């Protein structure tokens, strides 16, 4: 089980002399791969803390806009007491391309029960992980084995990577001439992505690593720009 780093969001702040209630909810994975051969996918949420939490979960598009994601989570809102675990079911409720993977964000927010005292800062912890829909036609496809199909080129002060494959490529790291790029993320199927080049780097040897379905890091791949 993976312990995820979490971003803290202040929900309510009451005057001076505050104390913080930190969340201890653990999510059972760093990503969800939705197998198109199955009717649903799932992920566990565990509370090893002594504080009860209200758990709210939802799926959103990559840009987080008003467009509704075609997934339903059951249950979307529930109480999770200490030492309890719940399994959230994720069900596809719309149409998605069947010739390539689709990427969404799964959000899980843990809101601690309010303590019965004044001057308390309540902290809601929102964890966001990738939800990748893999259609039935791509069963058995391993992104790691397709990583060498990526092409690289310079675009101004950025490096552009183009993905001609039908799977999402999630990067663990990218290096150009031995210098590591910051804030690398992913490139979608049939699309391109750009990342800032380190200062003083214009072109040269590219090395990169892909994150696999289980959140682990794959082999080093070599390319040129």
Contact call for residues 186 and 105 (beta carbons, < 8 A) = no
Q: pLDDT tens for the chain, 225 residues: list them.
A: 443 334 333 333 322 233 223 347 999 999 999 999 999 999 999 999 999 999 999 999 999 877 899 999 999 999 999 999 999 999 999 999 999 999 999 999 999 987 766 666 677 889 999 999 999 999 999 999 999 999 999 999 999 999 999 999 999 999 999 999 999 999 999 999 999 998 888 888 999 999 999 999 999 999 998
The residue from 83, 117, 136 where one domain ends is 136
Per the structure, the complete domain to which residue 186 belongs is given by 143-224
pTM reported for the whole predicted model:
0.85
The residue from 116, 136, 156 where one domain ends is 136
Are both 111 and 21 inside the same structural domain? yes
Torsions phi, psi of 81, nearest 5? -80, 170
Task: From 100, 124, 95, 106, select the one nearest 41 (Cα to Cα).
Answer: 106
Number of domains the chain contains: 2
In-domain check, residue 204: yes
């Amino acid at each position: 089980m993976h312990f995820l780093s979490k971003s803290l969001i202040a929900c309510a702040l009451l005057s001076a002399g505050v104390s913080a209630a930190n969340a201890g909810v653990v999510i059972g994975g760093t990503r969800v791969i939705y197998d198109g051969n199955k009717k649903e996918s799932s992920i566990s949420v565990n509370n090893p803390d002594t504080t009860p939490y209200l758990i709210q979960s939802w799926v959103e598009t990559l840009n987080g806009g008003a467009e509704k994601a075609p997934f339903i989570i059951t249950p979307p809102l529930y109480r999770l007491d200490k030492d309890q675990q719940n399994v959230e079911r994720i069900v596809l409720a719309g149409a998605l391309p069947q010739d390539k993977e689709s990427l969404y964000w799964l959000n899980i927010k843990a809101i601690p029960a309010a303590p019965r005292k004044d001057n308390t800062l309540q902290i809601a912890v929102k964890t966001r992980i990738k939800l990748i829909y893999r259609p039935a036609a791509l069963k058995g496809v391993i992104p790691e084995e397709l990583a060498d199909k990526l092409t690289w080129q310079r675009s101004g002060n950025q490096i552009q990577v183009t993905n001609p494959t039908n799977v999402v490529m999630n990067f663990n790291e990218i290096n150009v001439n031995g210098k590591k790029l910051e804030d690398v993320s992913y490139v979608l199927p049939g699309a391109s992505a750009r990342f800032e080049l380190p200062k003083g780097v214009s072109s040269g040897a590219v090395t990169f690593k892909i994150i696999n379905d289980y959140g682990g890091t794959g082999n080093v791949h070599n390319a040129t720009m």
